[in-house]
Structure 1
Amino acid sequence: MTQNAADAASVDLLAIARRIATDVAETALEERRRGISVAATKSTPTDVVTAVDRDTEERIRAMILDARPDDGIFGEEDDTHVGSSGLNWVVDPIDGTVNLLYDIPSWSVSIAVVDGPPDPGHWHALAGVVVNPVTGEVFEASVGGGARLVDARLGERALRVNDDVHLSRALVATGFGYAAERRASQAEVLVSVLPRIRDIRRIGSAALDLGAVAAGRLDAFYELGLNPWDHAAGALIVREAGGRVGGLGGAAESDRMLIAAAPSLFDELAALLEEAGA
């Protein structure tokens, strides 16, 4: 397949991802307005699942298989569906479930399509969409096609990360794990990071954090312990907005660390995190 053909295929995949993500986001918002409760817990008592998470992933899976029956699906709430095409859909039905539970308007539906296995170190992301159902904002990108923010009220605009921001003036977002021991370790790192930057933000949805970096609403984002579905779409959106995404020491992003920032800021932040013991 030529590069032009590959880019065209990615645009087609993006259209499918956008249609599915916006459709299920609307339904999830309707369910939230009717009221929700915790359906189960996962890794710890604070790591919750709602019926909206499960219902949304079921709808996403059904719509993907209807449109692309030969593709695989790798999601948060259900078993991996193994496909035969070599493409995998990486799905977070609700990123920011605690925000959803408390009716904080920062939760999202995240859908990406990758070429290769559901492993960030070995896949090639082709398309990604992150939808905030409350605001109606849609962050999206296709490989080689740039990144955009689509807002029903304000229209569409291309996304670009903030360039030439010094670390001391950087507005940085992060997140925390659910296990008490990990949270304590992350807090120790933050104590070292916070005096060296402009300020910190904790939004509660890694997918929206990454969209915000791409949109220039944040200068950088870092977090330890993310799962592939947390960042598959958002990382592509940052890269297509001119940003850099990776881990520490030149590694690819993984559960050990994800950093997203403009290329001019990335190395400074990575060095600070290493110095802080991240």
Structure 2
Amino acid sequence: MPVAQPLDQSELRQLAELAERIARQAGEIAVRRRAEGVEVADRKSSIVDVVTAADREVEAFIRGAIAAARPADGFLGEETGAAAGASGLTWVVDPIDGTVNYLYGSTAYGISIAVVAGEPDPARWTPLVGVVVVPAIDVVYRAVAGGGATRNGTSLGVAAPASLAETMLATGFGYTADRRRQQIAVLGPVVGAVRDIRRVGAASVDFCSVADGTVDAYYERGLNPWDMAAGALVATEAGAALHTWDASGVRAYLVAAPGVDSALLTLIRDAEAAVLGSGAA
């Protein structure tokens, strides 16, 4: 893959402005389609892993807008897959993160757009720009590498809870029954050690919730690149610590306020080791 030339803060801000403009427009499409009524267009990994026509329409719009503005850049989207570029930059897109929420009429869904340098693999890329728009409540999260994170233009900075016992932890569950059972079992010893657990159902929103202090930490095993690319940058640019590791062949992510991240990481990994062994789904 071509190597991207280093970008200065001015160039990164220009990319962020473009990402935000496209994400806002995409969000308007999603809101309109939700008002008209949503139907399941397809299913993926299981009967509950759904795709709506709006997911496909929104990604087509985003992909077309990026291609028009940045034809040399690559693309990686949940619905339409990957296309290599010549610039060394790749746009990583989840058109509607939280599709089941969207289907049910919940406001907890996001348009997630990131720009990364290098291979389109979280273990190898360098995140540059992240934008998550939550269109149903008119909230925009935005981050630039080295330039901080904002919510609707206001700077974000995580505030660490005083202790692990005072930590509000968000999490999510996979679409297959076996993985959900494992995830519930892992949470067993964790839930008694923290303040409480929240389950929103949209990874991009969960990452951003750490950034704005709605929760103190977020952990999930089995995220896809488009689930975490934008939100993880928002969280880390707001000061959160990000940990990733292999949990029995599946990638796990923890983003948490400094001061509790190490203790929470140890707690979760011990719980995973007790539950998963070598037979994770």
TM-score bracket for the superposition, by shorter chain length: over 0.9
**Alignment length, in residue pairs?**
269
Maintained 8 Å contact 1:165/1:219 = no
Residue number among 218, 239, 243 corresponding to 1:242 in the alignment: 239
Q: How does 1:58-69 map to 2 (within 5 A)?
A: 58-69=60-71
Amino acid at match of 1:20: I
Aligned-pair identity in percent equals 46
Question: Is 1:13 the equivalent of 2:15?
Answer: yes
Once the two structures are TM-superposed, the CA of residue 257 in structure 1 deviates from its matched residue by 0.4
2-side partners of 1:195 and 1:163: how far apart? 19
Structure 2 residues not aligned, in runs of 5+: 274-281
Residue number among 228, 232, 235 corresponding to 2:229 in the alignment: 232
Report the equivalent of 2:192. Answer: 195
CA-atom RMSD in angstroms: 1.7
Secondary structure of the structure 1 residue equivalent to 2:254 = strand
Residue number among 173, 176, 182 corresponding to 1:185 in the alignment: 182
Once the two structures are TM-superposed, the CA of residue 263 in structure 1 deviates from its matched residue by 2.3
Report the equivalent of 1:36. Answer: 38
1-side partners of 2:217 and 2:81: how far apart? 32
2-side partners of 1:114 and 1:165: how far apart? 34
1-side partners of 2:227 and 2:81: how far apart? 16
Secondary structure of the structure 2 residue equivalent to 1:232 = helix
Once the two structures are TM-superposed, the CA of residue 256 in structure 1 deviates from its matched residue by 1.6
Maintained 8 Å contact 1:227/1:255 = no
Residue number among 129, 139, 142 corresponding to 2:141 in the alignment: 139
Once the two structures are TM-superposed, the CA of residue 35 in structure 1 deviates from its matched residue by 0.2
Q: 1:203-227 CA distances to partner (integer Å, 9 max, x unpaired)?
A: 0000000111000111000000000
Once the two structures are TM-superposed, the CA of residue 2 in structure 1 deviates from its matched residue by 9.7
2-side partners of 1:184 and 1:242: how far apart? 32
Q: 1:146-172 CA distances to partner (integer Å, 9 max, x unpaired)?
A: 10000xxxxx31111122431110000
2-side partners of 1:9 and 1:175: how far apart? 34
Maintained 8 Å contact 1:99/1:107 = yes
Maintained 8 Å contact 2:157/2:211 = yes
Once the two structures are TM-superposed, the CA of residue 50 in structure 1 deviates from its matched residue by 0.2
